Amino acid sequence: MSTVVPVILCGGSGTRLWPLSRAGFPKQFLCLTGNNSLFQQATLRLSALAAPGTNTLPPLVVCNEEHRFLAQEQLRETGLANARFLLEPLGRNTAPALTLAALAAMQDGTDPVLVVTPADQTITDEDAFKAALQTAIAQAQAGHIAILGVTPDRPETGYGYIRTEAPSDNQASHALTVQQFVEKPDLPTAQSYLDQGGYFWNAGMFVLKASVWLKALGHFRPDIASACQAAWAAQAIDGPFVRPGKDLFAAVPSESVDYAVMERCPGQAEFPICMVPLAAGWNDLGAWDAVWSALPKDGHGNALVGDVISTGSHNNLVHASGRLVALVGVSNLVVVETADAVLVSSQERSQDVKLIVAELNKSQREEHNLHRKVHRPWGWYDSIDQGGRFKVKRILVNPKASLSLQKHHHRAEHWIVVSGTAEITNGEQVLLLSENQSTYIPLGAVHRLVNPGSIPLEIVEVQSGSYLGEDDIVRLQDTYGRAPATN
């Protein structure tokens, strides 16, 4: 029997899908197609691999420390509450991420097959995907490195390619020998790949034994292997969260799975590598034009999400989050509306949205990092208004949840209960407030907000002071193990 561990690589910021994707709420956690986020879709797909002769264990999720509660909550919504989360204190690309997963998978002395996928892709044909993975698992069980290559349907310049032996008709679903990995081509070269056959898109999905990955990494990149092992040895465990040693992980070289190992394997007898063709409606939703292609369209080729009215317009993507968006006589546009930003782009330039994000980052504007509405492990807050020395937030606290015990150096706060019951620590006092009641938190006062009830607590918070940034928090106690300078 094959023992399989799904590995979800949940890093990345999805800058080309701004303003919906932000550093604090990246692409993989968005619901762009269907009713589940891309991360939820990826995890559900791999958790459904159970088949005769296959024992599928709970998934390993490799994600950023800052996204741990978001990932945990989204998995709770799907019913997959037994995942383990390997938390990266900072991004080091996919090779170190996969190494953490391999070390975790072998920690109990077993050597399972790892089925590795990014968290930000879509598949429309689940049966074809499962069949391809079963073929890949059989190859991995025999000691091979198996990768999934997407059967191309157009001359695409945005993906790397895998060159294989040319498949015959009866090999369409069989493993093929990998001859070469090819970088992203120009359009004429991409067309020649399509005409020749034997070239497939590299989807970043891998199937291999944990020991095979560690052996190959130790052979090709011993510096990454040893640095990851040192960080892993210094791990700290907090329930489902596993943290490698922070300073040691920061010293790990940053490298992708492809560059570190995969591209070096063709022709190496010690590390046999094969590719299983995948024709399952794959899309990496890498930019807004790809999202347009994956969404249903009206009779004029428009993909419209949210409150949208269109007249005389064709082949547009419109994603309205909160307000009415109206189109008149335009074509081939991307329009994305959020509470604090609106993007308008031509479809052919949608890849360049990342340049806007770079400019926002350079200008230190908060719109590159967070939405106006920010999710936290205890609930969420929505910054509904602000000026030079004030900010107004709408705050929702989940039942039985609690904010940290904290104080501020630069601001005072007024809290007004809108609904529910609030238990408030304010200096030496502990107050129980209900609807329409309020309190004042002076600058420097130690305070905490708790929802002791069984329904959500909603308050309005009015901040006033010389500095209103989210980093003006001194944490004294916290239920969620967060760093003192984060909210």
The predicted structure's pLDDT at residue 466: 94
Number of domains in the chain: 3
Which residues 6+ apart lie within 8 Å of 23 measured at CB? Answer: 13, 368, 369, 370
Rounded CA separation 145/458 (Å):
52
The count of C-alpha atoms lying within 13 angstroms of the C-alpha of 118, restricted to the half-sphere facing its C-beta, is: 26
Asked if residue 295 and residue 271 are part of one domain, the reply reads no
Side chain identity, residue 66: E
Side chain identity, residue 300: H
The residue ranking higher by pLDDT, 53 or 432, is 432
Of the three residues 222, 253, 278, the one that is the final residue of a domain is: 278
Asked if residue 36 and residue 116 are part of one domain, the reply reads yes
The count of C-alpha atoms lying within 13 angstroms of the C-alpha of 134, restricted to the half-sphere facing its C-beta, is: 16
pLDDT per residue as tens digits for the range 141-156: 999 999 999 999 899 8
Side chain identity, residue 420: G
Least confident of 245-249, 326-330, 479-483: 479-483
Res 168 pLDDT > 80: no
Asked if residue 255 and residue 398 are part of one domain, the reply reads no
Asked if residue 256 and residue 400 are part of one domain, the reply reads no
Q: Is residue 239 part of a domain?
A: yes
Of 125, 120, 199, 126, the residue nearest 156 (C-alpha): 199
Asked if residue 345 and residue 223 are part of one domain, the reply reads no
Task: Report yes or no: 423 and 431 within 8 Å, Cβ to Cβ.
Answer: yes
Of 139, 286, 290, 121, the residue nearest 207 (C-alpha): 139
**Model pTM score:** 0.88
Rounded CA separation 315/251 (Å):
47
The predicted structure's pLDDT at residue 383: 93
Q: Which pLDDT band holds residue 441 (cuts at 50, 70, 90)?
A: very high
Q: Is residue 412 part of a domain?
A: yes
Res 93 pLDDT > 80: yes
The predicted structure's pLDDT at residue 169: 57
Name the residue range of residue 431's domain.
373-477
Task: Report yes or no: 333 and 316 within 8 Å, Cβ to Cβ.
Answer: yes
The predicted structure's pLDDT at residue 210: 98
Q: Is residue 462 part of a domain?
A: yes
Asked if residue 260 and residue 336 are part of one domain, the reply reads no
Q: Is residue 37 part of a domain?
A: yes
Rounded CA separation 239/220 (Å):
34
Side chain identity, residue 385: D
Of the three residues 254, 278, 302, the one that is the final residue of a domain is: 278
Q: Is residue 363 part of a domain?
A: no
> Mean pLDDT in the chain?
93
Q: Is residue 368 part of a domain?
A: no
Average pLDDT over residues 298-310: 97
CATH value at residue 394: 2.60.120.10
Of the three residues 221, 243, 278, the one that is the final residue of a domain is: 278
Asked if residue 110 and residue 181 are part of one domain, the reply reads yes
Asked if residue 256 and residue 218 are part of one domain, the reply reads yes
Q: Is residue 486 part of a domain?
A: no
Asked if residue 419 and residue 470 are part of one domain, the reply reads yes
pLDDT per residue as tens digits for the range 174-217: 899 999 999 999 999 999 999 998 999 999 999 999 999 999 99
Rounded CA separation 17/347 (Å):
12
| 186 to 44, 156, 192: CA distances (angstroms) | 35, 8, 10
pLDDT per residue as tens digits for the range 310-329: 999 999 999 999 999 999 99
Q: Is residue 306 part of a domain?
A: yes
Task: Report yes or no: 102 and 210 within 8 Å, Cβ to Cβ.
Answer: yes
CATH value at residue 58: 3.90.550.10
Res 484 pLDDT > 60: no
Q: Which pLDDT band holds residue 170 (cuts at 50, 70, 90)?
A: low
Res 486 pLDDT > 50: no
Find the distance separating the first CA and the last CA of the chain, reported in whole Å: 45
Task: Report yes or no: 202 and 277 within 8 Å, Cβ to Cβ.
Answer: no
Res 481 pLDDT > 90: no
Q: Which pLDDT band holds residue 485 (cuts at 50, 70, 90)?
A: very low
Asked if residue 182 and residue 48 are part of one domain, the reply reads yes
Asked if residue 247 and residue 192 are part of one domain, the reply reads yes
The predicted structure's pLDDT at residue 68: 92
Residue carrying structure tokens 């269907």: 34
Task: State the SS3 of the chain.
Answer: CEEEEEEEECCCCCHHHCCCCECCECHHHCCCCCCCCHHHHHHHHHHCCCECCEEECCCEEEEEHHHHHHHHHHHHHHCCCCCEEEEECCCCCHHHHHHHHHHHHCCCCCCCEEEEEECCCECCCHHHHHHHHHHHHHHHHCCCEEEEEECCCCCCCCCCEEEECCCCHHHCCCCEEEEEEECCCCHHHHHHHHHHCCEEEEEEEEEEEHHHHHHHHHHHCHHHHHHHHHHHHCCEEECCEEECCHHHHHCCCCCCHHHHCHHHCCCCCCCCEEEEEECCCCECCCCHHHHHHHCCCCCCCCEEECCEEEECCECCEEEECCCCEEEECCECEEEEECCCCEEEEEHHHHHHHHHHHHHHHHCCCHHHCCCCEEEECCEEEEEEEECCCEEEEEEEECCCCECCEEECCCEEEEEEEEECCEEEEECCEEEEECCCCEEEECCCCCEEEECCCCCCEEEEEEEEECCCCCCCCEEEECCCCCCCCCC
The predicted structure's pLDDT at residue 261: 96
The predicted structure's pLDDT at residue 80: 84
pLDDT per residue as tens digits for the range 12-26: 878 999 999 999 899
Asked if residue 254 and residue 319 are part of one domain, the reply reads no
Q: Which pLDDT band holds residue 172 (cuts at 50, 70, 90)?
A: low
